[in-house]
Amino acid sequence: MLRGRVFGVGATALLFAGLAFLISTSAAFGSDAVWVTEPGRDEVVRVDAATHVTKKIRVGDTPTAIAADDSSVWVANNRANTVSRIDPATDAADSIRVGRRPAGVAMGAGAVWVTNAKDHTVSRIDPATNSIVATIPVGRVGAGIATGEGAVWVADINARTVSRIDPGTNAVVATTRVGTRPIAIVAGDGAVWVANVEDNTVSRIDPTNDRVTATVDAHSDPSALAIADGTVWVANEGDGVLSRVPTSTPSSAGRQ
């Protein structure tokens, strides 16, 4: 078993403000701004990265997940069963109906992908038309979702698995067993990383064979992940600690 390096969350709050917000809400960066969901107020807060000026944008009931790039911002509104698309140029928001209890959202492979926790499905949205072009059955309760390494990856919090969706066929092509209650997932640097909140671990999946090749000790209740510059950052909600795991973690290390 490996253990990542540990930092106090307060010491890295400015550099990793998005991770800090992800413990209780969700955040993303795009169009030179940080976008933060306010689930209790049905709003998204836009924070200009240069001026720190904030603006509140009304979205649907209980926004719980967000993804952004330089052209659009997508928000999963859990109780409204919708996704809001925000135009960063105008801050106007359009609403798209998806499945029941949307819990996660990701952008990639020419689409926007939304996990619908109560329907056990993933909605694929075409950003050119704002319409759903595919509904894909997955596991039991899909929550976290990520794109990268040639696929779409869905963490199933109840089934203790990660589903791999082929964006070319809109079908689940592999399922990988991970730890207990996988809640967050990221893909990049040649691997897929999964936070298992009840095990207090992070699983590393090799996308070339869909096998867990390492299990890394986190701290209490790892609940959010980010990957950048050769590092996976793990926000541990239970003890307010930020863990650092190098993406160069040996594939032979840890529990298989």
Query: 76-125 pLDDT, tens per residue?
Result: 999 999 999 999 999 999 999 999 999 999 999 999 999 999 999 999 99
* Rg of the Cα atoms in the chain: 17
Q: What percent of the chain has pLDDT over 70?
A: 88
Nearest to 113 by CA among 62, 69, 165: 165
Amino acid at 235: A
Q: CA-CA distance, 138 to 123, in Å (whole number)?
A: 10
Structural domains of the chain in order of their starting residue, each with its CATH number: 2-246 (2.120.10.30)
In 3D space, the residue among 223, 206, 207 whose CA is nearest the CA of residue 215 turns out to be: 206
Closest CA to 150 of 105, 76, 194, 206: 206
DSSP annotation of 123 reads E
Place of tokens 């939304």: 114
Reference 223, options 198, 248, 191, 256; nearest CA is 198
Residue 164 CA, chain-centre distance (Å), reads 15
Confidence of residue 9 (pLDDT cuts 50, 70, 90): very low
Report how far residue 128's alpha carbon sits from residue 131's, in angstroms, rounded to the nearest whole number.
8
Using pLDDT thresholds of 50, 70 and 90, give the confidence band for residue 16. very low
pTM, rounded to two decimals:
0.88
Q: What's the longest Cα–Cα distance across the chain?
A: 49
What the block records as the tokens of 144 is 């976290």
